[in-house]
Amino acid sequence: MARAAGLLALTVCTGSSAWGQGIPPGPVPQAPPAAPVPAPAPAAPPATKAAAATDAPEGLDPKAIDPFRQIDYTAYTLGKGETRLGVMSVDVAPVKDLQIGTQPLLDLLGIYNVRAKGRIIDGEVGGLAVTGSVMAVPVTDLLKQIGGRNAFGVGRRVFVDSLIYSSLGVLGSVKAHEKFSLHGGVNYLRATGRGQFDFTDLPVVVVPGGDEFGGEAIIVPKLAADLISFRLEADARITHVHSVVLQTNVPVFASATGTVGGGLDGLPEEIEDFDVALSYGRALLPSEAYRASLSYQATIKQVDLRVGFGLSGLDKPLHRSWIVEAFDLAYRFGGKYAKSP
């Protein structure tokens, strides 16, 4: 009993001392609770079927309008390792900023051809490229079968053994707006032929836009012709799928040089045989050899489709040459998606 009274007195004294020191009595403070562990972030939802199927580069919205998609009439090229299989053209990019291709329909006709484009300037608003091509027409009989005896200016007195076309050009592209771009350039074409040409009435297959020249006929066995032309294209992109493109090509100058071989009796031996060069050159009116087309384009994932109509000032059978530009169906695959950085 005495021990209990002592403990009680000690407790009262201790409490009185605490109040005296300004420390209120109370329970012993507890340690602060631990911070809650954040819940793990939810897993990203699976990609949609459409997004998984697209070949758009990482970070690019599959439905975003791409101003760098088209590569046949622009200064843009395929991506490294990419291939484009089309009805009108087949192109492949073995290295960055360089593509090589051919026109398969002409190859099937025996008109073997190859072309190349190298991009030398690339930017956010446009680019600049150098183009080149070579085309060989080895047998005229095939051309006769397509268009008739005189379709290519080939008649009884005029025939063509072979024609070789080579061209060099510069092509530029400017993205004026996210939905509108302009493209243009200049092209130099040289045609060399062997056979028998009527120099006063050159076949349109040799020099498109050449008119008949007056005077007596001059038959030449060798001919070299030059053609300078300008091109202008514009494409308006309505959505990431649908767009409209206008393409024009206008030759502005043509020239030709023919070589005539002959001989004269009674002259010194060293000059009995001779070659004479005959030439002409003149500016061309746009109405003589223009080519223009307006087409609808659709870009559906890896497929490019183009359908349109056109006009031309060229004589037969080249009066429908605009078809090559107005129609196309192509499939792209391989490599990295072609897009200007």
How far separated are the first and last CA of the chain, in Å rounded?
95
As a whole number of angstroms, the distance between CA 64 and CA 82 comes to 21
pTM of the model: 0.70
Query: Which among 309, 319, 317 is positioned nearest to 289, based on CA atoms?
Result: 319
β pairing state of 90-95 and 83-86: antiparallel
Instruction: Establish if 21 belongs to a structural domain.
Output: no
DSSP, residue by residue, 24-75: ---PPPPPPPPPPPPPPPPPPPPPPHHHHH--PPTT--TTS--TT---SSSS
In the chain, how many domains are there? 1
Instruction: Establish if 90 belongs to a structural domain.
Output: yes
Residue 323 makes CB contacts below 8 A (sequence gap 6+) with 310
pLDDT at 60: 52
Least confident of 199-208, 215-224, 232-241: 199-208
Instruction: Establish if 66 belongs to a structural domain.
Output: yes
pLDDT exceeds cutoff 90 at 83: yes
As a whole number of angstroms, the distance between CA 284 and CA 179 comes to 34
pLDDT exceeds cutoff 60 at 289: yes
As a whole number of angstroms, the distance between CA 218 and CA 205 comes to 18
Instruction: Establish if 6 belongs to a structural domain.
Output: no
Instruction: Establish if 27 belongs to a structural domain.
Output: no
pLDDT at 142: 56
Looking up tokens 């004026």, which residue turns up? 176
pLDDT exceeds cutoff 70 at 303: yes
Instruction: Establish if 29 belongs to a structural domain.
Output: no
Instruction: Establish if 239 belongs to a structural domain.
Output: yes
**Within 13 A of 296's CA, how many CA atoms are on the CB side?**
5
Q: Which range has the top average pLDDT, 14-23, 110-119, 208-217, 250-259?
A: 110-119
As a whole number of angstroms, the distance between CA 49 and CA 287 comes to 50
Residue pLDDT, tens place only, 93-123: 999 999 999 999 888 877 889 999 999 998 8
Query: Which among 174, 171, 179, 176 is positioned nearest to 66, based on CA atoms?
Result: 179
- The model's confidence at residue 172, banded by pLDDT at 50, 70 and 90, is very high
pLDDT at 149: 46
User: What is the rounded average pLDDT for all residues in the chain?
Assistant: 74
pLDDT at 287: 84
Q: What is the mean pLDDT of residues 314-322?
A: 78
As a whole number of angstroms, the distance between CA 20 and CA 90 comes to 99
Instruction: Establish if 145 belongs to a structural domain.
Output: yes
Q: What is the mean pLDDT of residues 317-328?
A: 85
Domain range spanning residue 128?
Answer: 60-333
